[in-house]
Structure 1
Amino acid sequence: MASWRGMTNADIEGVLRVASEIHPDLPESAAVFAERLSKFPDGCLILTQGDDICGYAVSHPIRTGHPPALDSQIGEIALDADQYYIHDLAILPRVRTRGLGAQCMEKLLLVADRYQTTCLISVYNSASFWRRFGFVPELTDTALSAKLRGYGQDAVYLVRRKI
């Protein structure tokens, strides 16, 4: 049975394996994952089945409307960060359709509840998954639109407002 737990530095190699399978056209370095984990461990989760890593999630606070560009380090979590950002939720196909994405979202949204809004960049036409959790498309400014292009042609900026 697969289950979610907190990420550790020892998991990063497994995260890279999952990321390369799920996001072959959106590569990110080990340094990006290690930095996110060191800056905001509460937002970094691993999906394991036995000793096998079969998914991960990375999230952290940001300033509203300023998600990081793909494969970029964030430096620090800004003291005035006022929005929660779900950078990635990736699950290998062999363990999908078991409600594991929803389980992960429950965990992430508990952390996100500290903020009025949560955002993400939907890729691979996954907006229908995110809609189930209240995320809707939001207009973007020129700078954010430029960042979205780095995530692929189908990238959409989505926001969820706290009820």
Structure 2
Amino acid sequence: MVLNDVAWRAMTAYDLPAVQGIADTVHVDFFESPEVLAERLKLYQHGCYLLEIGEKPAGYVLSHPWTYASLPPLNTLLKRLPAEPDTYYLHDLCLLPVARRIGAASRIVEALHKHAVAEGYPTMTLVAVNGSIPFWERHGFAVTDVPELYGKLLSYEETARYMVRRLD
């Protein structure tokens, strides 16, 4: 499928109602409050983007520096980013059905990869949910077993997996 006028752009606070609407539509089982989404944007604007198709919101990504082998709890305010982050964390990549299978997700993942490399992070990390492991594997991520994270991963879903992409 080819769609015209598909673009990722920097997210702003004005986009947050649309981001919440997309999250509530797609992530029915992974609710995050408007305050949590707003805080991610406030803490690290360089990692937050909105996908538009024909100037209509169709997806978003939230990402930020973090600490390897740890997870920010779902639907929890962070208050601040780690003082000495050592990984680049993809908190959420969320697309409405109209935005899937058009290459938009791959484009933003590669843009964030370039950002993480430029910032000097040795890895990118994420939690794969909703059967997304094959997508992330195509982008160089591998399931990584960190026993200390087992309980937190279960708070997402039984099949949630911690994944890592080495950047060095």
TM-score (norm 2): 0.93
Question: What is the aligned counterpart of 1:105 among 88, 104, 109?
Answer: 109
Is residue 140 from structure 1 mapped to residue 125 from structure 2 by the alignment?
Answer: no
Question: What is the aligned counterpart of 1:157 among 148, 162, 167?
Answer: 162
**Map of 2:137 onto structure 1:** 131
Deviation at 1:131, TM superposition (A): 0.6
For residues 1-163 of structure 1, what are the structure 2 equivalents within 5 Å?
1-113=5-117, 114-142=120-148, 144-163=149-168
Root mean square deviation of aligned Cα: 1.0
Code of the aligned partner of 1:41: Q
CA distance in 2, matches of 1:73, 1:91: 23
CA distance in 2, matches of 1:134, 1:49: 27
Code of the aligned partner of 2:138: R
CA distance in 2, matches of 1:72, 1:65: 18
CA distance in 1, matches of 2:114, 2:46: 10
CA distance in 1, matches of 2:59, 2:122: 27
CA deviation map 1:10-62 (0-9, x unaligned): 11110111111111011001111111111100000100123321000000011
CA distance in 1, matches of 2:41, 2:14: 11
CA deviation map 1:62-105 (0-9, x unaligned): 11111201101111111211111001111111121111011111
CA distance in 2, matches of 1:8, 1:94: 22
CA deviation map 1:99-124 (0-9, x unaligned): 10111112111222120011000001
What runs of 5+ residues in structure 2 fail to find an aligned partner?
A: none
Code of the aligned partner of 2:85: A
Identical-pair percentage: 36
What runs of 5+ residues in structure 1 fail to find an aligned partner?
A: none
Code of the aligned partner of 1:152: E
CA distance in 2, matches of 1:115, 1:95: 29
TM-score (norm 1): 0.95
